[in-house]
Amino acid sequence: MRKGSYGPGRGMGGPGYNTSFPQVNDRAEEDENAISHLIGRVVYLAKSESGSRFVQEKVGNPRYLKVFFQEMKKRLPELMTDNFGHYAVETLFTHCSSNQRITLLQNLGPSLPNVACHKQGSFSVQSLINAISSKEEILLMKDYLKRELHRIILSCPGHYVILRFITRFGWPCSDFVSDLLASNVVGFATDHYGLRVMKATFDSASPGAKLEKLFDAVVEHTNSLAENQYGNYIIQHLFDIGSPSTTDQVKQKMVGRYVRYSKQKFSSNVVEKCLKHSAQEYSKDRNWSSQIVQELLGSAKELISDKYGNYCLQTALSTIADNPQLVIEFIVTVKPHLEGLRVNVRNKWGKLLAVAQQSANSHIVVESTAV
């Protein structure tokens, strides 16, 4: 056989053999050199913009992952609260095995509350919550969150961590949050961030003793919460999710205070919600709609001229359309007080009462015909 008969790129002596394998070896050697240069420098690298991007790109390579894990696990709090480092750590979480994440959690544990309450750290902890899946990982996360749960819930960055945990794992895994909320309902429900966590807890919880305990705690403090700028929202929320027994208790707590609440900015919203709920949900024990409206009519003169009470009266009228006798009582009570109102308000009420009168008459005719 003639020399060179394999042709270019063929056989053991061809150019194809000589150029391809050395390239692979070169790349492997380059990787080894790069990894050796990373030893002792990963944390410093991850805290720079270009270095963080490098870590994110290379972490999918098992050899790089091993080095990143070994060096970053010792400095998690520092990296998770760094402007660039937190991106690198969040990518690391998603590529680690369950056992590796357990190690990371154990190293992070004592510092987790501080990290969760940090602007960048909150994102990192949420990323870790998304990544964990095993029972041991979840229990570790719960244990570390519980240590300073009160502080985390009332923190702007921290409460997002709790919301993510509730969304990710649901009930009963997150029932430890409900336990703390029930122990200090007023403190949490009157805080902007505590309110959000409480609403999320109500929405995710399953019926049972712990949920009832939280319901009972909120109902007990109905009157304190109804007048608060944040607390009023949790009372309104009870009308959306509570049982008839729960909502009846809330309404009973407010008896004798509906007029007062109607004249306040925040509690007037509760009164309107209560009226609308009473028109849709009929109690076996009493007609709440009629009782609340009649309580308001007892102070119609002061309510109709009040900037908040005026709206509560309008809502009351709109919710009793199916009760013509009560509508007529409403008209008779309110009409004498229209003269003291501003022209535009008086005209508006005149139209509302006229429509209500016409509707009530129609109902009465229909009822008479049916008889």
**In order along the chain (371 residues), what is the average pLDDT of each group of 10 residues?**
41 39 49 82 96 96 95 96 97 97 97 97 98 97 97 98 97 96 98 98 94 97 98 97 95 98 98 95 76 97 96 96 94 95 94 94 68 50
Distance, CA of 145 to CA of 166 (rounded, Å): 12
Tell which residue, 143, 86, 85, 148, has the closest CA to residue 114: 148
- Identify the pLDDT of residue 26: 52
Say if CB 176 and CB 146 are below 8 A apart.
yes
- Identify the pLDDT of residue 364: 75
Q: Which amino acid is at 72?
A: M
Cβ-count burial of 140 within 10 angstroms (0-12 exposed, 13-18 middle, 19+ buried)? buried
- Identify the pLDDT of residue 5: 40
- Identify the pLDDT of residue 171: 94
- Identify the pLDDT of residue 245: 93
Tell which residue, 186, 192, 255, has the closest CA to residue 214: 186
- Identify the pLDDT of residue 144: 97
